[in-house]
Structure 1
Amino acid sequence: MLVLIGIVGALFDDRQLLGHPIWMKPLKFSISFAAYCVTLAWFLSLQTKARRLGWWMGTFVALGIAAELAIIVGQVAVRGRQLHFNQSTPTDTLFHDLMATTIYVVYIAVFVIAVQLLFDKPGDKALRWSIRLALGTTLVGMLLGSLMFRATPAQERAIAATGREDFFGAHSVGVEDGGPGMPITGWSTQGGDLRIGHFLGIHSLQLIPLVALGLILLARRFPVLRPEGPRTALVWIAAAAYAGLVWLTIWQAQRGESLVHPGQSTLLAAGSLLTATTVASLAVLVRARRTTLASASFRK
C-alpha cells in the first residue's frame, strides 16, 4: 500500500528534499522493506525447530519495520524534514532517535532468527547454507549503516567551534549530501556513498538464496549439479564473492570515490574478485564433472 502511495506522491507532489523528490525516500524504503519481509517470512516458514520463537521474532521485525516506515513518512513526507543525521530541533532529534531504536529491535530479532536457522536443518543442504550465509551477510550489512553516523570533518569543526551541530553524520564521503546523484537511488556521482555497501549487504538476504534456487533449477538439466556437494560449494563461493563486493563498495566509498567513476585501484580489486570467483567456480564444476563421469563409468 505504501509503495502505491509513494508512487502517487512522487508523481504529483513537487516538493523536494536534498535535491530529490520528497516521496522518493518513503517509496524506496517501502520497496526495500517489502522484499526484506517477504524473504524473511519464507525463511521462517522453513523452520523445523522453535517455531514459536521464530514467530515472535518475525512479529518483532514486522512491528519494528512498520514503526520505521511510519517515522519515515511522518518526518520526511509529512513534515518535509530530513530524517537521518538531523538533530536541529527536539522534534527532529526525537524522530532520529526513534528510528535508531526500531532498527535495534529489528536487528536483534533478525540475529535471533539467524542463530535459530544456524542450528536448524530445513530442506536442501545448499539452500540451507545460502539462508545462513544470507542472514549473516545481511546482519553485517545492517551494521555497516553505523559508518554513516560519524561526524564529517566540517561537522567536527563546527562542534569544536560552537559545541553543537545540527547534523551529525552523512551518507556521502568527500562531498556534501544532496549533491548530484544517480537516478532513483540518489547515490552520489561526485564522491563516495556509504549507502551502496549498506544496501548491498542488507539485500544479500534475497540474492544469495536466489543463487541456491537457481542451481536447483539448473540441476534438472545439468547432472553435474544434482549432488548437494557442488551446489553447496558454489553457494559458498557466491556468498564470498558477494561479501567481497560489499567490502569493495565500502572501501571505494570511504576513499571518496563515486561508484560511477571507479579509479585504477577499484578496478584492479574488482577484476581480482571476479577472477577469483570464476576460477573457484570452474574448479568446483570440473571436479564435480569428473566425479559424475567416474560414477557413471562405475555403474556401467
Structure 2
Amino acid sequence: MATMARTPVERTMLAELLERQRTLAIYGLTLLGLAAGTLVLQAIDPRLLDSGVNVWVKPTKFLVSIGIFALTAAWFFGYARPERRRSLPMRTTTLLILVGGSFELLYILWQASQGLESHFNTGSLFHTIMYALMGLFAVLLVGSTLPLAWEIGRRPATRLPRDYVAAVVIGLLLTFLLGGMLGGYMSSQTGHAVGAQGGHVPLFGWNRSGGDLRVAHFLGIHAEQALPILAALVGGLSARLRWAAIVGGASAYAAVTLAVFAQAIAGRPLLPL
C-alpha cells in the first residue's frame, strides 16, 4: 500500500521545530499522539463522571493543551540566539515544562483510569494533597514562560524585528499573568461553573447556562500564540503602525480576557443558550 508523502513545507517545519528544541518538540508531539489514543478511548469506554462527561474527555483536552504549549515553547527557542539555547534560562524552561506538564498529565490520566475526577476532587486526604500538588506543578508549567521571555527579550536572534520580539515577550508575560492568575483563582473555587449549569459549547465544554471560569483562563493561556500571530499579520506595515498594533492588540487582549472573567464571575455565560 502506498503511503502519503509529507510535503516539503511539512518536512521543513518539522525539521525546524526539532532543530530549535528537540526535547520539547518530541514531548509535544508525543502528547498529541497520546491525545489521539484517549480520543479513541472516549468511543470505547462508556464510563461517565458525575458531571455526565466521559472519563477520557479531560485527559484528551489536557494532552492537547500541554502538547501545544510544549510545541510553542520549542518553536520560540528559535527566537533566541543559537549559542544561548542551552543557557540556564532556556534549560530551566525545558525542565519546568517537562516536570510540570508530566505531573499534571500523569495524575489526570490515573484518575480517569479509575473513573474519578482529578480537578476539584478533595474527597479524601490523598486527593486533597494531589490536587494541591497539581496546582503547584501547574504554576511551574506556566512559569516556564518567564525564563523564556527573559532570554528572548535580552538576546533575540539576529535579524528578528524588534516589534516581533516585543510581541513574543508580551505574549509570554500575559500567559503567565493572565493564565496563571485566572487559573489560580479557578482552582481555589469548588468548580469552574458559576451559577446555573446546563448546555455546553461543542469541543470546549464551556457552560452555556451560567458563568464558566475556564473561558478567561483559556484566553490567558493562549496569549503567547495570539500576540505573535498578530505581529506576523501586521508585519508588512510601517514600524510605527506595527508597534501601535502590538501595543493596542495586547491591551485589548488583556481587557477582553478580564471582561470575560468578570462576566463569568457574575454568572453570565459567554455563549448563552
Per the normalisation by structure 1, the TM-score is: 0.72
Pairwise CA RMSD of aligned residues? 1.9
Among 173, 184, 192, which residue is 1:171 paired with?
192
Bigger Cα Rg? 1
Alignment of 1:181-200 (within 5 A): 181-200=200-219
Q: Which runs of 5+ in 1 are unaligned?
A: 152-168, 220-224, 263-300
Q: For residue 249 of structure 1, report the CA deviation from its aligned partner.
A: 0.6
Would you say the 8 A contact 1:193–1:253 is kept in 2?
yes
Q: Can you list the C-alpha shifts for 1:99-142, whole angstroms capped at 9, x where unaligned?
A: 12211322333222223333333311221111011011101222
Q: Give the counterpart letter for 1:184 in structure 2.
A: L
The corresponding residue for 1:115 is 150
Q: Which runs of 5+ in 2 are unaligned?
A: 1-32
Residue 244 of structure 1: SS of its match in structure 2?
Answer: helix
The corresponding residue for 1:134 is 171
Matched, 1:211 2:230: yes
Identity %: 30
Q: Give the counterpart letter for 2:181 in structure 1.
A: L
Q: Give the counterpart letter for 2:106 in structure 1.
A: A
Would you say the 8 A contact 1:127–1:213 is kept in 2?
yes
- Please give the alpha-carbon distance, in whole angstroms, between the structure 2 residues aligned to 1:146 and 1:55: 25
Among 244, 267, 270, which residue is 1:256 paired with?
267
Mark the CA change 1:149 to 1:29 in structure 2 (over 3 Å): closer, same or farther. closer
Matched, 1:230 2:241: yes
Alignment of 1:69-88 (within 5 A): 69-75=105-111, 77-88=112-123
- Please give the alpha-carbon distance, in whole angstroms, between the structure 1 residues aligned to 2:208 and 2:130: 29
- Please give the alpha-carbon distance, in whole angstroms, between the structure 2 residues aligned to 1:183 and 1:22: 17
The corresponding residue for 2:63 is 30
| Count of equivalent residues | 234
Among 63, 67, 72, which residue is 1:39 paired with?
72
Would you say the 8 A contact 1:36–1:205 is kept in 2?
no
Task: Give the 4+ runs in structure 1 shifted more than 4 A.
Answer: none
